[in-house]
Structures are given as structure tokens and as C-alpha cells.
Chains A and B, each alone.
Chain A
């Protein structure tokens, strides 16, 4: 079990559209993923970078069970994802969790933070009331937020605070694999730095594995162990972070690195 990678993806494909319509014509098909193969090792941060339309969000949604794969094989924590899906959303949620890009949109505006965080504790972990209260307090401590936040509504929080809550919800399920979809791109730089620090500390303390999706190369270089570059639904390069940034091989990776804005021009 411990030798199994956290996530193993082999030849994953996904096509949107292309169904036959009522009067025979096929609708326009978009290949979001074409034969993607990746391994997320235990305890590592694997970054997936790419521009809009490269298929990185589709990949993330398949990994957490929000989309079904078109073809290929996905194993999560050594178990076949199709079998996990048949076991129902609860089995999936216990193994892998997702942090959304827009923290405010991912929190129900009409529920308090406490109610939102209780759902995974009750449904996925099956904790009773007393145990839930303890866990809620622990979670607030883990993401550096005061307990009073539990009684607040999402719109009363700043972007950074809301993202901490979204991370707390992912932690609540006690899954040790997290798929983070652009978790800091909606945040101001100083808040972004704090959330990155938080993510790094949580990973160390709780022994998590991260699949970190981002378009910001500087952020990726700061936090990732390895980087996969996606382009039009394919992984064009997969390398240790240091190697990839020092000697990019694929021309697309080179282009990305060249066009990233920098503070100090050489």
C-alpha cells in the first residue's frame, strides 16, 4: 500500500460534446484530455501548469470524481477510481479532496462556516456531535483562524480567510490526497504568500500529497517538487522542479518561462 503512488493516471482521455443530436448531426467535440499519464507520489507536491484550455481543470475534476473519465485508467491510493466511484461519493471523498479556485463561490452563502465544515465530519467521518465540535476547533487551529469564525457567513470573510475555510473543509474529510485547483490565484500577493505557507506546513504536519494546479510559474517553483506542463490536453513535459526551470526541454515550456513577467529584468 505504501509503495503505491497516491494517484496513478494512465492514458486518461476525456472528450466533451460529440453526442448525436435529435436530427442526426453530431455536436462539436472538444478533446480536453488526450492520453494523459501521471504519477503523484506519496508526500510530494506535483504541480500541473498550463494555460486556459489546456485541460488541467478537467483533470482535477476527474480525479475527485466530479467528472467521469472518457478512457484510460485512474488509481487513487492503490484503488481503481471506477470501483471507488461505484462505492459512492463517500468512499471517494474519504480518499481525495478538492480545493476550489474561487473560495467564496465554493462556500454556500446561506450557511455558516460551522455548518459547512460539519457536513464532511458527519457524512464522511461519521463523527457524533461531541467529536465534531472538537474536530471543528482543531481544524480552525490548523488553518490559523479564531473559533468565532465558525459562526460567520462566507460573505463576511476576506478572500484569504475564505480560502483557509475551503482548505479546512478539505482537511475535515481526513483524506491525505488533496487536489488544489488554482488555490491562490484569486488572492492578493501578501495573502497568497500566507496561504502557500499554510499549505506547506499542513503538508508536513499531516503528511499530505498535493496535486497543485496553477498557471503561475513563480508560485509553482516555490512550492512544487515536480512539475507537469500541459498543453492542449497533453502532458508535454514532466520533470523535477529545479531541472525544469533550469533546462526546459519542450519549446512550449520555454515559451511559458520566457513570457512570465519578472520584477528584475536581466
Chain B
């Protein structure tokens, strides 16, 4: 149903445009970036309009009018030591500086990106050779390198442009190479190769569009810097040559009058500041708008506990004897501007000591969000608990002060996650990580901690635990890592263990071992186990009771054996019917085909 329904809605969805925020709208969302953009547009308009503005000749000297203060008659910003109008020189000079800075950015971007693309895509020896060349460029202090280049080519604006471009090539080459390297081994690049595309075509049409945002971001963040460098070289007399005006050379000329007529230096200085700050503000905004990870708020630091904004009264605990009661839980995600996307809708669960409750559902059914809500672990923003209650015995978790809730994590309720490679710290030994888990709740000495950690590793049946404790996560197999994850969860004798797809990433033989271990530990310690999975086979293996979730709601709960044998809800029935069973063999597909055909008839009827 879901697939057929969604594909038909996709057919009808041609009329409904998918809600995508344009990059421009996102950019305007940030006030600073918008301010930068507006400032920059105004400056650009001013510079472009220079030829038609009623400005005096910027190079016309008038010794009689030298060093006039700002706001003098006929000279709004005053004059310099040769009596030239500062406003006119400022506008014309900014034009030159910005043009040279942007041209240098463009040249550096094209050459640097090309080097980065080829180097990252080709890999191996070509990569090594190119990157060592780039390293050599980077090894010189940039201003020294620029000076050397200008010294070799002779002073002048064009040569300053080359120098700045060359000095900045490494930034682009390194950034682009890093991204390309990651992309070159992605499956869609392999797929393009199998579609008959050659290397050049793959680079230009598959890799480049995915690298382009990085190039734009690097450009926008380095452009201001390059304008500054242009000014720097001109300040040293290596860029623009007199009488041509340019912000750097104006600053250089003003230096001599810094004490008698400070405005000669301050005016171009302020201009440089305004241009660079507006470019940088815009660049930051552009980066945020173009990077999809930043767009989803991944870099905004989540709070220690999910945001709670309960509407309505706190529900009573309907089964006070249960170890964990979830009552009418409402969790969702705020999508900005007051919009709210529900993920869990009024879910109630009761988990008793010594019991294993399975929570099963397809992807997006809200089972993981339910599990994370129990200890307020849904990342906020954007997570938000809007209603319901969670009882640990008699205490209500969501009403607890933050420090108490955090103290419950690991001590009363422990979690095991799907992929222990991502939850274990890669640069600490596993022994140390288990020790930390113990130390979080038990003030013990180092020797005691170590003994306790090794005992825990033994309990989860890691062979040769003492030696293994010195190993790093990557030295262990997936099954062993999951055992370490379980050891850490057991560290403080929790009453409740929540396992979120703990065996999904494992091979079947290893999965069977881990399930055995969990079952045995649970029985020994009379723990309550909430087991989240999408696999009915696993549920049948380990769970006493099972709850089926669909679209954020529990549609059916029951004893595992009864529910699997006689599912009552049509959704459960359908899910179970779609699971191939060993022994069913070639009969499976005809059976599913009949089921789908019947559903299609029911939908059309």
C-alpha cells in the first residue's frame, strides 16, 4: 500500500511543487548576510556608476587645494597631499581594488579547482605529485611569495593580480580535492561509469556539480581576503602605480600625513573595511545557505535535554507497577516559523521488570524517536516533546530537573545503538571507554574502575578481556564492538535497557550470538528490555510482547506468539505477510503477488 500509494501520489504530485526553500530565501533569512549583500550591492552600484557620476578627475592635481578637510566646499571628503579630490579617488580606486581582487579570486578558483578536481579524482601518483606541489606553495609565507612573484615580474596591477591568484590557488586546490576525493568513490560515480561515461564527462557532469557549492563558498570567503591582499601589495608600492588610484596606494600615500591630515589615510581604510566586512558577511551567509547540513541545523549545538513544551495536563501513570510507563507521548520536530512535524502521536507503552518488549515498525514510523524521548535524547533543536508523560517507576521523567534526568541516563536507563563503530570513540581504548561509563555514576579509584571494566567485558563474553581492553574500536569485529556497547550499557546496573536496532548491522550468525547474550543478561538481572527493530524474525526470537508502530502511532500490542500467529490489525497482517520465511521458497512471491493484487482491487473498488 505504502509504495503504491506513494507512487500514485507522486503521479498526482506533479501539480504540487515540493516545498524547497530557495538558496536566496535562506540567505535573506540571515540578517547579517542580507545586510552584507545590500551593502555590497550599493557599493557595486556606486563603483559601476563612477563614469557617469559628477566626479572631478581623480588624477587632476591642484596644489593650492592640498589637504583640505572633509566637507570642504567642492570636496566632500577633502583632498590629498596633491590636492586631488578624495571622493573621486575613493570611488575610482575602490573600482580598481575590487576588480583586481575579484579577478584574482576567479583565476585562483578556476586553476585551483581544476587542480583539486583532477588530483582528487585521479588519486595515486598524480594526486601525490600535485599535492606536494601545492604544499610547496603553502610552505612560503603568502606575502613573501607574493613579493617574490611581483619582484620577478616587476611592479604593476596585473602582476599583483597574478601574484595574489597564485598565492591563493592552494586554498581552492585543497578544499576541492578533499571533497572530490570523497565523491570519486561514491556509488553514483561508479554508476555513471557503468552508464558509459568517460573520465572527463564524469568529472564535469557528475563530480563538478557536487563540488560547485564548495567552490562558491571558498570564493565568497576568500574574495575579501584577496581584496585586502591587493591593497597590501599596492600599499607597499608593488601594485597600482601613481598616479592611478587604488585603495592600497591611497592608504600608502596617506600614511605620510597620518598626523597632520589623518583623513587621507582613514577614508580609504574605512572603505577597505566596509568592502571586506560586507563580503565576509555575505560569504558566511552563502556558506550557511548552500551547505545542506547547516541548513538542517546540524551545527547548532543541541541542548542537553529535548525541549519540552507540554500542552494540557500531565497524564496519570495507568500502570504504576511497570518499570517504565510511556503515557500518550507526543514528540515531533519544529520546522521553523511555528511549524511542527509530529513523529510520535500519543504513544503509550508499559514495560515491566524482567520483560522484553519489542517495538517494531518500518522506517519513519517513529520507533526510534519514541525510544530517544524516554531519556530526553531527541536532539533539540529541532526536537520537541509536546505532550504525555514518562514514568520510571513512580517518578515522572519529563518533570524532573535537568540534572536529575541526566543522572538517570546510564544509571536507571541505558541505551544500546545500532552501529557501535559510530557510538564508540575511535581514539580511546575500549577498556577506557567502559571505565568512563562506570565512572560517570560510581566514584571509584582507577584500579577498581579497571577491574570493574574488565569484569564487564567478561560478562559480555569478550574472550581474553584483559588484553582486549587495550584495543581500539577499529581493531574489533562488528559483533565484538556491539558487545562493548552492551558492556557500557550494563556498567551501572540499569533497571531498563533500550536497544535501538542493535543487531541490524551484523551478520546473521553474529546477530544470533548477540541476541543470545542479551536474552541471557536480561534474565539474569531481571532487566526490562525495550527492543526496537524492523525485523519480525528478531522479534520472534527475543521479545515477550510486541508493539507495532505505524506513522507515529501504535496500531497493535500483544504477546509475541499470539500477535505473530493471529495479527488483528490489517497493517500488522500485511507486514507479516511480506516477510519471506525460510522453507517457503518459491511460494513466497506468488503469495505476495496475490496479496498485492487483492489490495489493488480494494483500492480501486
Contact residue among B195, B210, B541, B586 (Cβ-Cβ distance under 8 Å from A173): B195
Known A-B contacts A93-B194, A100-B191; the reply to A218 vs B538 at CB < 8 A is no
Chain A: number of interface residues, binned into ranges: 35 or more
Contact residue among A102, A156, A263 (Cβ-Cβ distance under 8 Å from B576): A263
Q: Does B440 make an interface contact (CB < 8 A)?
A: no
Known A-B contacts A161-B6, A256-B508, A263-B581; the reply to A66 vs B197 at CB < 8 A is no
B7 engages A145 (CB within 8 Å): yes
Bitwise interface map of B from 159 to 191 toward A, beta carbon under 8 Å scored 1, else 0: 000000000000000000000000000111011
Contact residue among A100, A119, A156, A257 (Cβ-Cβ distance under 8 Å from B18): A156
Contact residue among A92, A124, A222, A264 (Cβ-Cβ distance under 8 Å from B588): A222
Q: Does A245 make an interface contact (CB < 8 A)?
A: yes
Q: Does B313 make an interface contact (CB < 8 A)?
A: no
Contact residue among A100, A119, A158, A193 (Cβ-Cβ distance under 8 Å from B196): A119
A188 engages B538 (CB within 8 Å): no
In whole angstroms, what is the CA distance A257 to B582 when docked?
Answer: 8
> In chain B between 530 and 566, which residues have their CB closer than 8 angstroms to a CB of chain A?
534-538, 540-541, 564-565
B194 engages A89 (CB within 8 Å): yes
Q: Which residue of B lies closest to A160 (CB)?
A: B3
Kindly specify which of B8-16, B136-144, B419-427 makes contact with the partner chain: B8-16
Known A-B contacts A51-B507, A160-B3, A194-B3; the reply to A241 vs B585 at CB < 8 A is yes
In whole angstroms, what is the CA distance A97 to B196 when docked?
Answer: 11
In whole angstroms, what is the CA distance A265 to B512 when docked?
Answer: 14
Chain A residues with CB under 8 Å of B196's CB are 89-90, 93, 119-120, 123-124, 173
Q: Does B312 make an interface contact (CB < 8 A)?
A: no
B209 engages A146 (CB within 8 Å): no
Known A-B contacts A52-B478, A200-B589; the reply to A158 vs B3 at CB < 8 A is yes
Those 9 A-B pairs whose CB atoms lie nearest each other, nearest first: A261-B537, A123-B196, A146-B11, A259-B512, A51-B507, A222-B588, A218-B580, A188-B362, A106-B187
Q: Does A191 make an interface contact (CB < 8 A)?
A: yes
Chain B residues with CB under 8 Å of A173's CB are 194-196
A222 engages B580 (CB within 8 Å): yes
A262 engages B540 (CB within 8 Å): yes
Q: What is the interface size of chain B, counting residues whose CB is below 8 A from a CB of the partner?
A: 63
Q: Does B455 make an interface contact (CB < 8 A)?
A: no
Chain B interface mostly: helix
In whole angstroms, what is the CA distance A98 to B188 when docked?
Answer: 12
Q: Does A80 make an interface contact (CB < 8 A)?
A: no
> In chain B between 1 and 39, which residues have their CB closer than 8 angstroms to a CB of chain A?
1-4, 6-8, 10-11, 13-14, 18
Chain A residues with CB under 8 Å of B13's CB are 148
In whole angstroms, what is the CA distance A97 to B511 when docked?
Answer: 32
B589 engages A262 (CB within 8 Å): no
B10 engages A245 (CB within 8 Å): no
Q: Does A72 make an interface contact (CB < 8 A)?
A: no
A108 engages B585 (CB within 8 Å): no
Known A-B contacts A106-B191, A119-B192, A173-B195; the reply to A161 vs B10 at CB < 8 A is yes
Nearest CB in chain A: distance from B4 CB, A: 8
Nearest CB in chain A: distance from B492 CB, A: 30
In whole angstroms, what is the CA distance A263 to B580 when docked?
Answer: 9
Known A-B contacts A161-B6, A191-B2, A218-B581; the reply to A89 vs B198 at CB < 8 A is yes
Known A-B contacts A149-B10, A259-B512; the reply to A123 vs B194 at CB < 8 A is no
Chain B residues with CB under 8 Å of A109's CB are 188, 210
Known A-B contacts A51-B508, A263-B576; the reply to A102 vs B194 at CB < 8 A is no
In whole angstroms, what is the CA distance A189 to B195 when docked?
Answer: 29
In whole angstroms, what is the CA distance A242 to B103 when docked?
Answer: 70
In whole angstroms, what is the CA distance A190 to B5 when docked?
Answer: 13
Q: Does A105 make an interface contact (CB < 8 A)?
A: yes
Chain A residues with CB under 8 Å of B575's CB are 189-190
In whole angstroms, what is the CA distance A216 to B535 when docked?
Answer: 12
Q: Does B596 make an interface contact (CB < 8 A)?
A: yes
Nearest CB in chain A: distance from B132 CB, A: 13
> In chain B between 571 and 604, which residues have their CB closer than 8 angstroms to a CB of chain A?
574-576, 578-586, 588-589, 592-593, 596
Chain A residues with CB under 8 Å of B363's CB are 159, 188
In whole angstroms, what is the CA distance A258 to B582 when docked?
Answer: 10
In whole angstroms, what is the CA distance A117 to B512 when docked?
Answer: 41
Contact residue among B535, B541, B596 (Cβ-Cβ distance under 8 Å from A197): B596
Known A-B contacts A145-B7, A263-B564; the reply to A223 vs B589 at CB < 8 A is yes
A169 engages B209 (CB within 8 Å): no
A260 engages B537 (CB within 8 Å): yes
In whole angstroms, what is the CA distance A163 to B191 when docked?
Answer: 13
> In chain B between 270 and 321, which residues have their CB closer than 8 angstroms to a CB of chain A?
none
Nearest CB in chain A: distance from B589 CB, A: 6
B578 engages A193 (CB within 8 Å): yes
In whole angstroms, what is the CA distance A63 to B206 when docked?
Answer: 23
A260 engages B2 (CB within 8 Å): no
Known: A52-B507, A89-B198, A105-B187. 20 other contacts (CB 8 A): A100-B187, A100-B190, A106-B191, A123-B196, A124-B196, A148-B13, A149-B10, A159-B363, A161-B6, A190-B2, A190-B3, A193-B589, A193-B596, A197-B589, A218-B579, A221-B580, A222-B584, A222-B585, A245-B582, A259-B509
Chain B residues with CB under 8 Å of A64's CB are 194
Nearest CB in chain A: distance from B127 CB, A: 15
Nearest CB in chain B: distance from A37 CB, A: 24
Chain B residues with CB under 8 Å of A110's CB are 209-210
Chain B residues with CB under 8 Å of A123's CB are 195-197
Q: Does B569 make an interface contact (CB < 8 A)?
A: no
Q: Which of A89, A92, A145 has the most CB of B within 10 A?
A: A89
Q: Does A250 make an interface contact (CB < 8 A)?
A: no
- The contact sample of 13 A-B pairs, CB cut-off 8 A, is A105-B187, A119-B197, A124-B196, A188-B534, A190-B3, A193-B580, A193-B596, A197-B596, A218-B582, A257-B582, A258-B512, A259-B512, A263-B536
Chain B residues with CB under 8 Å of A193's CB are 578, 580, 589, 592, 596
A256 engages B193 (CB within 8 Å): no
Nearest CB in chain A: distance from B395 CB, A: 36
In whole angstroms, what is the CA distance A151 to B578 when docked?
Answer: 31
Q: Does A9 make an interface contact (CB < 8 A)?
A: no
In whole angstroms, what is the CA distance A263 to B583 when docked?
Answer: 11
In whole angstroms, what is the CA distance A169 to B187 when docked?
Answer: 13
Q: Which residue of B lies closest to A123 (CB)?
A: B196
Nearest CB in chain A: distance from B363 CB, A: 6
B8 engages A245 (CB within 8 Å): no
In whole angstroms, what is the CA distance A215 to B190 when docked?
Answer: 22
Q: Does A236 make an interface contact (CB < 8 A)?
A: no
In whole angstroms, what is the CA distance A146 to B478 when docked?
Answer: 41
Chain B residues with CB under 8 Å of A241's CB are 585-586
Chain A residues with CB under 8 Å of B596's CB are 193-194, 197
Q: Does A129 make an interface contact (CB < 8 A)?
A: no
Chain A residues with CB under 8 Å of B8's CB are 146
Chain B residues with CB under 8 Å of A84's CB are none
